[in-house]
Structures are given as structure tokens and as C-alpha cells.
Amino acid sequence: MSVQAPRRTVSPPPDLPRAPLPPAKRKDPLWAKLTLIFGAVLMMASGAGIVGSKVLINNATSAVTGADLIGGAKKSQAEGGNSLDGPIDLLLLGVDARKRWAVDDLHADTIIVLHIPASHDQAYLVSIPRDTEMVVPAFAKSRYAGGTAKATEAFFHGAQNGGGWTGGAQLMAQTLKNATGISFDGAAIIDFNGFKSVIDALKGVRMCVDQRVKSHHMAWVDGKPEWLAEARRTGRMKPIWHEVGCKNMEGWEALDYARQRYGLKNGDYDRQRHQQQLIKAIAKKAGSSGVLTNPLKVNALIKAAGKAFVLDTGGVPVADFMFTLKGVATNDMVLLRTNNGTFAGNGNGREAISPLSREMFAAVRQDKLADFIFANPAVVAKEK
């Protein structure tokens, strides 16, 4: 697979495959400053200032890979794409990128729209159900002819035949734009497996288990967590159960819990909510643990985060916007439920987007999400 010139010189870690990187495109500085809100959402802190040297942080961000992830789904001039004062809409795609999987053999298991209103003082996380039936447009880069598929499969179709992670993200962004009307300022591909190093750098995060659930991905082997495939070979595996209650979780435990969907009352909807909670928990821990006021801790944390993301930063150094995120407080990160948090069938065994959720997407487009939530408070996910 040929690799085009990247936006910045980066060295991806060996355990995280990278897509071909397109030539750099210029974007406005404010967008670059806000990109980290999703690329390293952990940097959002309630009132905490980030103190430290930009040289130090620039060194730490050398592990972050940049790429054009939205392609033709970016906001047009008419939509305020170049405005310094308008709302920001970002696409977060979560993948499970383990060593044994090829770069083009991945689905987007987590699909989240992060909306920041024009006031730049809040953040809303809106999950898109992975099994929603959508019309996926033709995509020349991966030689995909177009068709009807689940939302999660759009990434797979875009990644085929050399499309890579950038192709997968671009086709996903275009599919969602067609389905919801939302255009994007940028996107990030998040390796949820790579979040382990971020959580461990924070010495764990506080998560609340609301339903007892058995892990379908990991098991205990001699008191240590192992991937299920490896654990089975030992003949000594014991099941891992996530018990109801709140606790500080290590990286592997928090990620394993957030990945479960089988055995939960609302299946993938509960998983969406748990993954939203995980993102918020990481941000909250970063803001409350003194990390953001300690240059050396910031340095270590960004290095860990860099291994978990592919970002569309417009080629602007991450350090340039690390110091401008005070307006978006962790406590203002609102988690929203699509389809009221339950399966909404379309009559042929697939999932559809409910009329109320379509209204919610329209509110995102019009930057009237706060008004929509006031009129429909049930869309806000409950947290422990």
C-alpha cells in the first residue's frame, strides 16, 4: 500500500495500523485549537488551566497521526466551515485495532457526533446506533459501488482495496451526512483498545456498572485478564464479571466493560452509553487529578493519547490549542440517547432512526440542541 505525504512527520506505534495520509489542507486556527476536544477529550477540565511549555507539548504530540478523515463531508462555506465563532461538529469513530487484524478489516463499532455550540462552553455526545440501516454512497477510493448496509459497515467498505483508515472514515462521514444532514468540521478515529495507556497514565478512572454483565472478550487466567482466544488455549480460564457498583477501574477493566453489549438490557444502546461515560470519565479524571497543571504529567498523558488516535488537525501543532479549552468544562459534557436508548426497527429486521432522533439531528445542524433538550429532557442519558 503506498503512503502519501503526511501532514506532519509522525511515527505510528507498531501495534496501531495507519491509513494512507493525504496532502495537507489549510484550516482556520480556531478549528485546530478545538480539535483536541475530541482527539484528546481527556484535556477538557472544569476551570483548570494547562500550564507548561509548548516545546514540551510539541515533543509529546509527535506520536499523533494526522489525516483528512472527513473528505467531502466537511462543512461548506455556507455552513460556516471557515467561521471562527460558529458551532463545531466532530465525528468520533471507535475501532478495535488489535495486531492480528488488517488495516482494511475493521468496522466502526462506536460512532459518536460531538457537538460544541457556537458559545464554545459545552459539549454534547450523540451516539449513532451501529446497526442502523443506511444508504452508503459509492466510493471510488475503495472501489465500492454503493448500497444499503449497517452504519458500522460503512467504515469497512471505505477501507477496502487500499482505502485504509482514511477511506473508512471518509465514507462513514459522507454516509452520516446523507442520513442526518450533519456536516463535519473534522473527525478522529479512536482505537478504544489504545485508550488503555491513557487510563493507566491517569491511574484509572471511576466507572459505575449499572447492570451485572459477563465479559465476552476477556477471561481470568491465573488471576490476570487475557483475551478470550488466548485464555481458551490455557485450559485455566475463569469468567470475568463486571459487578454492579462504582469503582476506580484500571485501563483494561474500564475498556472491557465499555465494550460489552451482549447480556445487557438494551444491548448496543447500553454499550453506547457506557462508552460515552468512559470518555467523560477520562476527561473528568484528567481535570480533577492535577494532570493539567503539571507540565510533565501533560507531556506523559499526550504521549499516551497519541497512540490511541488518528486526528484531522489541519497540520497545526496540537500545542497551539492545548491552552484554549477552558470554556468547555467536563461537567458540561452532556450524553444524549438516540432512539430513546432502545432498538427501533424499520420493519425488515434492521434498525432505523426514530422521528424524535431526526429532530435531534436537525437541532445539531441548526445549533439549537439546548432548546431541543429543554423540550425533550428524556434524551439525556442518566448517569450514576
User: What domains lie within the chain, and their CATH numbers?
Assistant: 29-202+291-379 (3.30.420.590)
**CB contact at 8 A, 170 and 71:** yes
- In what helix (H) or strand (E) does residue 245 lie, and over which residues does it extend? strand 245-249
* Alpha-helical runs (H) found in the chain: 29-39, 54-60, 151-159, 164-180, 195-201, 228-234, 251-259, 268-288, 295-306, 355-365, 369-375
Whole-angstrom distance, CA of residue 255 vs CA of residue 192: 7
Closest-CA residue to 197 (of 305, 108, 336, 273): 305
**CB-based contacts of 355: which residues, under 8 Å, 6+ apart?**
none
**CB contact at 8 A, 26 and 311:** no
**CB contact at 8 A, 381 and 208:** no
pLDDT tens sequence for the chain (384 residues): 333 333 333 333 333 343 343 333 333 333 333 333 334 343 333 333 344 445 555 555 555 566 788 888 988 878 876 565 678 888 888 876 654 445 555 666 788 898 888 887 788 888 888 888 999 999 999 999 999 999 889 999 999 998 988 899 999 999 999 999 999 888 888 776 667 888 888 889 999 999 999 999 899 999 999 988 888 989 899 999 999 999 999 999 998 998 888 888 888 778 878 887 887 788 778 766 666 666 667 667 766 766 667 766 444 445 544 443 455 655 567 888 888 766 666 666 678 888 999 999 999 999 999 999 999 998 888 765
Please state whether 20 falls in left (phi above 0), alpha (psi between -120 and 50) or beta.
beta
Whole-angstrom distance, CA of residue 286 vs CA of residue 288: 6
- In what helix (H) or strand (E) does residue 126 lie, and over which residues does it extend? strand 123-127
